[in-house]
Amino acid sequence: MVFKANGFPLWLPLFFMTAALGAEIHVSPTGNDAASGSATAPLATLAAARDKADQAKAGNQPVTILLHGGTYYLTAPLVIGPANSGTATAPIIYAAYPGDKPIISGGIKLPDTLTWKAGTGPIMVAGIGANLKVDQLFLNGKRQILARYPNFDSTKFLDGYDANCFGPARVALWKNPTEGPGYIRALHPNMWGGMSFIITGKNNDNTLAMQWVSDNNNGTTMHPTYRMVENIFEELDAPGEWFYRKSTGQLFFYPPAGANLEAAKIELASQDELIRVVGTATEKVSGIVFRNLTFAHTYRTLFSKPYEPILRSDWHIARAGAVYMENAEGIRVESCLFDQVGGNGIFMSGYNRNNVVYNNTFTDAGASCVNAIGLVSAVRCPFLWGNAAKCADRTPGPLTPDYPAFITIDNNTMTHFGRFEKQTAGVNLGITESDTVRHNTIHDCPRAGININTGRFGGHDISYNWVYNDLLESSDHGPFNSWGRDRNLDFKDDTTATTLDAWKRTVIHHNRFETKPGNFGIDLDDQSSNYLQYDNLLLGGGLKMQWHRYNTYTNNILVGGANVQMHGIWMGSQDVVTHNVFTSSQPYYIGFFPAGSYLPDTIKAHTRLIDSNCLAVNAGITSNEGNYTLAQWKTAGLDVHSVSGDPQFTDVNKTWTAYAPKGDYTVKAGSPALAIGFKNFPMDSFGVVAPVPTSIAQKPYAMDRSGEPGLFELRFVNGGLFISHDGDYRVRIATVRGRTVKVLNGSKGSRVYLETRGMSPGLYLATVQVRQGMESRVFILN
């Protein structure tokens, strides 16, 4: 754990800085780019502020661009290049003016004087200009519904589906389905994400010509039932629906009940991206901070950007985001709101190093929230599906540095994303290395919460996350999902080749993953190798073992339908399954394929250790080779020292104070789980923790003690925490959720010292108590 000598963590070097440090440049939507940029004469545009900041750089001081309240409508993304860089100690900060809410928008605001006329029935019509690029409409900040069939129903897949949504009888009602153009959005036949098409023609027999947009890496066939159409004029028939006719410039809108269009604020998404932080191979962009900003009104990438495969993963991706980074270092996005963006929230493409995404909220994104995806040029043997030629390159690791590394994605809330693209995740990693994903709360999504698209290159720390309400529009997955499908696959009979690409171990620990029974809590899919998983709470979904090596599953709790599913056992897998607690109505293990793989002797021969687990389940294995009892399992040398019995959880219905996840799965003293080596781990540290108040002072401050001045000092020195007070006192160190970590006693004139190296990363409270009262300070360990 690393700290600054003045008491603030190195990973948050700017969090407590005030705008008074260094130069200030003010911007306002009502400003003037010819002005000075002072508080009383602000600039009008972000581009002018960026250029002004280049002139204001001096010495080792930051430059803060303060955005005053209002909406900044961009006609093109703000491009930040190497010449606009700051440094780690003197960054360029784009921040909200204290107390204001600036919105960076890719939208077009309709004039307040716009004239609406009555159309057919309740539909209103206004002329807004021809040939605009728009595909989302917001009424007073809320996304409306592009004209569609069937009508919007948030309780169903795709917000409503109909197998015959573009059958001949339906198509016969459409005069010109290409004028929008019309779109078809569907699910994959196996519900592995989305499958989308642009309507390119209508045939004489009322069938459609269509073009696939390439949004999936598993063929082009759509699901026979889960499909819908949108952007068809004749389907404009429900409140909230709208349609824009490019050729005439007419906007048709069926307003929701009670809406007053004359007084409403109406915005249309137009720009694909808002911020582009882009350097070159030889000159990187560095030292840029975005803080307390709102990003909104971006165009859907689903139908506007080209897609590419992430090697052999199930995904095709569009390299675009509301905030896009490439050849960038030390970029921070913190405490921002990504509000109903049309595609990805943040996309880090190719070379990126040491970027931080901290304490943001992503809501209703069209695609994924945060992506870190390297380039194929970084990969040795970049195989795609259909390219089965083996590669002679046996050098471990990456080929070039064109990939993200040491990225931190911490303490973010990600909810209701994947509104249009279904092969999405809250955090999506691919061709990347040594990233940290921790303390994120991720929920209500069509597919996984956290996804690692390829085994290249490992080294990630996935910890303290809370994922729930996942897989709402897909199947065969889990809150956490990964694929290998690298040289590990092409040299599957060679155990020495397994870590050529996943050359660093990925660790998944202290997460709470919830899903529907039958799914996987941690889905290590095809050839995902070199993983360590410990201290995870898996509710509903269990562990998946599928054609891989060198994976360890230890000290996890599996509850409510969660078990281990074996999908193929590779020779010399070296899997370790030990000290776990299994309590489920399902069999302990379920084996599927291939034939012959699930004989207990075969499993014993190809795994390193399956033993010392606590089993409150239907013991044994169920497979197409037959069912085996725990006794037969033990005869083969598996789970020889495992025990059966109730693990005795403390309180699975416990409601925590100021902590959302319910249930305390700590096992009680005397639990059989403790006898086999299981160790309890904290149940109050999953997901987002409270952000540090920006009002915390950087120096010791006085504490009111009945008129007698007092001093409470807290500072970090050499990896430890010093606390002192000028009277007799007691110090309690606790998590922000209330779990006590340490209690220390001090006397007047002395300092107590807390060794922090053994403490988990996170947010803590130091409370000093004296006879006359108490006072608390917040601090973060990284």
Q: Which of 548, 646, 46, 620 is nearest to 323 (CA)?
A: 46
DSSP, residue by residue, 526-557: TT--SEEEES-EEES-EEEE-S--S-EEES-E
Q: Which of 615, 547, 617 is nearest to 577 (CA)?
A: 615
Candidate ranges 428-437, 579-588, 725-734, 765-774; pick with highest mean pLDDT: 428-437
pLDDT band at 567 (very low <50, low <70, confident <90, very high): confident
Model confidence pLDDT, tens digit, residues 639-648: 999 998 999 9
Q: Which of 475, 418, 412, 478 is nearest to 445 (CA)?
A: 418
What pLDDT, on a 0 to 100 scale, did the predictor assign at position 334? 94
C-alpha to C-alpha distances, 695 to 64, 284, 492, nearest whole angstrom:
18, 33, 56
Model confidence pLDDT, tens digit, residues 708-726: 334 456 665 555 666 766 5
Q: Which of 375, 374, 369 is nearest to 344 (CA)?
A: 369
Overall average pLDDT of the 216-237 stretch: 96
Quick check: 761 pLDDT over 70?
A: no
What is the average pLDDT score of the chain? 87
Which of 42-56, 300-314, 493-507, 623-637 is the least confident region?
623-637
Overall average pLDDT of the 562-580 stretch: 88
pLDDT band at 262 (very low <50, low <70, confident <90, very high): very high
What pLDDT, on a 0 to 100 scale, did the predictor assign at position 705? 31
C-alpha to C-alpha distances, 285 to 67, 353, 355, 398, nearest whole angstrom:
21, 10, 11, 22
What pLDDT, on a 0 to 100 scale, did the predictor assign at position 143? 97
268-285 b/e (C-beta count within 10 Å ≥ 16 → b): bbbbbbbbbbbbeeeebb
Which helix (DSSP H) or strand (DSSP E) does residue 184 occupy?
Answer: strand 183-187
DSSP conformational letter for 377: G
pTM: 0.87
391-426 b/e (C-beta count within 10 Å ≥ 16 → b): eeeeeebbbebbbbbbbbbbbbbbbbbbbbbbbbbb
Alpha-carbon Rg for the chain, nearest whole angstrom, is: 28
DSSP, residue by residue, 478-515: -SEEE---SHHHHTTT-GGGTTTTS-B-EEEES-EEE-
Separation CA 376–CA 363 (nearest Å): 30
What pLDDT, on a 0 to 100 scale, did the predictor assign at position 706? 33
What pLDDT, on a 0 to 100 scale, did the predictor assign at position 765? 73
Overall average pLDDT of the 167-182 stretch: 97
Residue type, 419: R
DSSP conformational letter for 517: B
Give how far the C-alpha of residue 473 lies from the chain's centroid of Cα atoms, to the nearest Å: 17
Quick check: 742 pLDDT over 80?
A: no
What pLDDT, on a 0 to 100 scale, did the predictor assign at position 258? 92
Which residues contact residue 60 at a Cβ distance below 8 angstroms, ignoring those fewer than 6 apart?
A: 87, 89, 90
Task: Enumerate helices (H) and strands (E) in the chain, giving the number of each.
Answer: 6, 70
Quick check: 618 pLDDT over 70?
A: no
Separation CA 655–CA 614 (nearest Å): 26
DSSP conformational letter for 169: H
Quick check: 702 pLDDT over 60?
A: no
Residue type, 585: S
676 contacts 614 by C-beta, under 8 angstroms: yes
325 contacts 277 by C-beta, under 8 angstroms: yes
Separation CA 767–CA 714 (nearest Å): 10
Through-space distance between the first and last CA atoms of the chain, rounded to whole angstroms: 6
Q: Do strands 512-514 and 466-468 pair parallel, antiparallel, or not at all (unpaired)? A: parallel
Model confidence pLDDT, tens digit, residues 45-90: 999 999 999 999 988 889 999 999 999 999 999 999 999 999 998 9
Quick check: 237 pLDDT over 60?
A: yes
Half-sphere exposure of 460 (CA within 13 A, CB side): 33
C-alpha to C-alpha distances, 507 to 180, 353, 582, nearest whole angstrom:
47, 20, 21
What pLDDT, on a 0 to 100 scale, did the predictor assign at position 488? 85
What pLDDT, on a 0 to 100 scale, did the predictor assign at position 770? 64
Q: Which of 525, 535, 564, 540 is nearest to 467 (CA)?
A: 540
What pLDDT, on a 0 to 100 scale, did the predictor assign at position 560? 87
Quick check: 103 pLDDT over 60?
A: yes
Quick check: 780 pLDDT over 90?
A: no
Overall average pLDDT of the 280-294 stretch: 97
What pLDDT, on a 0 to 100 scale, did the predictor assign at position 5? 24
The length of the chain is: 782
- For 471, other C-beta atoms within 10 Å of its C-beta total 23
Is the CA virtual torsion 387, 390, 395, 396 positive or negative? positive
Quick check: 8 pLDDT over 80?
A: no
Quick check: 336 pLDDT over 70?
A: yes
Is the CA virtual torsion 631, 634, 635, 640 positive or negative? negative
Separation CA 271–CA 91 (nearest Å): 27
Overall average pLDDT of the 565-592 stretch: 85
Quick check: 563 pLDDT over 80?
A: yes
Candidate ranges 222-231, 613-622, 690-699; pick with highest mean pLDDT: 222-231
Q: Please give the backbone phi and psi of residue 490, each rounded to the nearest 5 degrees, phi first.
A: -80, -20
What pLDDT, on a 0 to 100 scale, did the predictor assign at position 633? 84
- 530, burial (CB in 10 Å: exposed 0-12, middle 13-18, buried 19+): buried
524 contacts 531 by C-beta, under 8 angstroms: yes
What pLDDT, on a 0 to 100 scale, did the predictor assign at position 65? 97
pLDDT band at 730 (very low <50, low <70, confident <90, very high): confident
Quick check: 561 pLDDT over 70?
A: yes
Higher pLDDT, 478 or 284: 284
Which residues contact residue 726 at a Cβ distance below 8 angstroms, ignoring those fewer than 6 apart?
A: 710, 711, 748, 749
619 contacts 630 by C-beta, under 8 angstroms: yes
Candidate ranges 475-489, 698-712, 734-748; pick with highest mean pLDDT: 475-489
Q: Please give the backbone phi and psi of residue 266, each rounded to the nearest 5 degrees, phi first.
A: -120, 125
- 154, burial (CB in 10 Å: exposed 0-12, middle 13-18, buried 19+): exposed
Overall average pLDDT of the 580-609 stretch: 81
What pLDDT, on a 0 to 100 scale, did the predictor assign at position 693? 40
C-alpha to C-alpha distances, 523 to 46, 435, 513, 526, 529, nearest whole angstrom:
43, 19, 11, 9, 12
Report all structural domains of the chain as residue ranges with CATH numbers, in order of start: 23-104 (3.30.1910), 108-269 (no CATH), 475-691 (no CATH), 701-781 (2.60.40.3080)
Q: Please give the backbone phi and psi of residue 746, each rounded to the nearest 5 degrees, phi first.
A: -135, 165
Q: Please give the backbone phi and psi of residue 647, each rounded to the nearest 5 degrees, phi first.
A: -70, -10
- SS3 per-residue string spanning 426-485: CEEEECEECCEEECCEEECCCCCCEEECCCCEECCEEECCEEECCCCCCCCCCCEEECCC
Candidate ranges 63-72, 536-545, 740-749; pick with highest mean pLDDT: 63-72
